[in-house]
Amino acid sequence: MTSDRLPDPHRARPAWLAVLARATLTQLQAQAPAADALPTLQQVRPPEIGMVMLRGRVGGTGNPFNLGEASVVRCAVRLGDGPLGVSYALGRCKRRAELAALFDALLQDPQHHDRLQRALIAPLALAQAQSRAQQQRDVAGSKVEFFTFVRGEA
Amino acid sequence: MNGAHTLAPGLPDGVHDSQQAFRAVLDALARPGQVRLIGPALPGVDLGGALARLLLSLGDDETPVWWQRADAGLQHWLRFHTGAPLAERPDAASFAVLLDSAQMPSLADFAAGTAASPEFSSTVFMELPDLAGGPTLEWIGPGIQSVQRVGLQGLPADFWAQWQANHAAFPQGVDIVFTCGDKALGLPRTTRVRRLEGV
């Protein structure tokens, strides 16, 4: 999550993949390029729906436990001979995974990288950070601090 | 992402193609010596159609695959689509891919399973130049009505001696699926092979 702010090139791709994974279908479709403006799109792995096990940690830091399963869509595409774009997204929307993979492929292409980073990733990252902060503020009000007075033994 | 540029797609219709290939290879092993059609070659994959489809259909993250000829592109392709790990040695493999039958390792090098768990043996996929037209042999055993005549091409001279030992080790031993292009033919460990007179 902190990697959103790191400019290091090795951190850049995980960062935009995380942003794309959280983006909604509407947000992705708004920036979708026209099909005829791109080289042929090859679906190396057509969008497929599966399950992932969500794991949590007791108290955020304790022993891991299985929270439950969630459906997830994954997809891998290639534009012409270009790099491979991959995506994983929670839910069952195949089109969303397909678009996210397409954007990942485009973002690895120097020709499209800067424009997409500016037009798509930066605004989405900002909106996602804001909504996360908003949610944290909302729940912070209901936080309960548990503490007891130390008894004699200590 | 080494080799990502050559990464070829998997089965065009994952669910139905793999079910079809599974059914066909099941049938091939149930009727030893009878040729079964698996499916046409996959674009961008440098393997016969039957071999490529069987690997995609049967492989998963619990089936290590041993390759006779290490080809990073093919290994990456199979790993990407099925999650099947690479086996370092033939006897650690669930599936073995032999593309050069003349230089094949001994059948005894593969996992034969144990007497208690014979299912932990290797299944060997062997690509041959042709599944017919070679020296004719008579196959007998479960799944064969009376006798099945098979003339595989391209097998090394000592193969059938090795097979005899493999058959004798029942219930242990390997099963073989011979492939050629889009076709496959099964040779399970239960099949006894008899040389015809004058061959």
Domain segments of chain B as ranges: 14-195
Q: For residue B152, what pLDDT band results from cuts at 50, 70 and 90?
A: very high
- List the CATH code of the domain at B14-195: 3.40.50.11310
Find chain B residues with C-beta within 8 A of A43's C-beta.
Answer: 9
Q: What are phi and psi of A32, to 5 degrees?
A: -65, 130
In whole angstroms, give the CA distance from residue B157 to residue B155: 7
Q: Do residues B106 and B36 lie in contact, with contact meaning Cβ atoms separated by under 8 Å?
A: no
Whether B9 and chain A come into contact, CB under 8 Å, resolves to yes
Assess: ipTM above 0.90.
no
| CA nearest to A81 within chain B | B5
| CA nearest to B45 within chain A | A44
Q: A42 and B81: CB-CB below 8 Å?
A: no
Q: For residue B3, what pLDDT band results from cuts at 50, 70 and 90?
A: very low
Whether A49 and chain B come into contact, CB under 8 Å, resolves to no
Find chain A residues with C-beta within 8 A of B10's C-beta.
Answer: 44-45
- A107-140 pLDDT per residue, tens: 998 888 999 999 999 999 999 999 999 999 999 8
| Residue found by looking up tokens 């080790």 in the block | B169
pLDDT for B23 equals: 97
User: How distant is the Cα of B3 from the closest Cα of chain A, in angstroms?
Assistant: 10
User: How distant is the Cα of B78 from the closest Cα of chain A, in angstroms?
Assistant: 12
Q: B5 and A48: CB-CB below 8 Å?
A: no
| CA nearest to A45 within chain B | B9
pLDDT for A3 equals: 42
pLDDT for B148 equals: 94
Q: B81 and A83: CB-CB below 8 Å?
A: no
Q: In what order do the strands lie in the sheet with B137-140?
A: B148-150, B137-140, B192-195
Could you tell me how many residues make up chain A?
154
Whether A14 and chain B come into contact, CB under 8 Å, resolves to no
Give pairs for B60-67: CB < 8 Å, separation 24+.
B60/B84, B61/B85, B62/B94, B63/B94, B63/B95, B64/B92, B64/B93, B64/B94, B64/B95, B65/B93, B65/B94, B65/B95, B65/B96, B65/B97, B66/B90, B66/B92, B66/B93, B66/B95, B66/B96, B66/B97, B66/B122, B67/B96, B67/B97
Q: Which of residues 94-153 of B touch A (CB under 8 A)?
A: none
* Pair type for strands B183-187 and B36-37: antiparallel
Which is higher by pLDDT, B40 or A82?
B40
User: How distant is the Cα of A76 from the closest Cα of chain B, in angstroms?
Assistant: 9
Q: For residue A82, what pLDDT band results from cuts at 50, 70 and 90?
A: confident
The lowest-confidence range among A18-27, B6-15, B102-111 is: B6-15
Q: B7 and A84: CB-CB below 8 Å?
A: yes
pLDDT for B198 equals: 45
* Pair type for strands B123-127 and B175-180: parallel
pTM: 0.82
Q: Over chain A, what is the mean pLDDT?
A: 87
- The residue extents of the domains of chain A are 2-133
- Residue A3 DSSP symbol: G
Q: A45 and B4: CB-CB below 8 Å?
A: no
pLDDT for A88 equals: 94
Q: How far is CA B182 from CA B38, B95, B129, B148, in A?
A: 6, 19, 12, 21
Find chain A residues with C-beta within 8 A of B4's C-beta.
Answer: 83-84
| CA nearest to B44 within chain A | A44
Whether B22 and chain A come into contact, CB under 8 Å, resolves to no
Find chain A residues with C-beta within 8 A of B80's C-beta.
Answer: 44-45, 76
The pLDDT of B128-143, averaged and rounded, is 93
| Residue found by looking up tokens 């004798």 in the block | B168
Helix (H) or strand (E) holding A80: none
Q: How far is CA B96 from CA A13, A107, B9, B32, B105, in A?
A: 36, 38, 21, 19, 11
Whether A108 and chain B come into contact, CB under 8 Å, resolves to no
Whether A41 and chain B come into contact, CB under 8 Å, resolves to no
User: How distant is the Cα of A105 from the closest Cα of chain B, in angstroms?
Assistant: 12
Q: B80 and A45: CB-CB below 8 Å?
A: yes
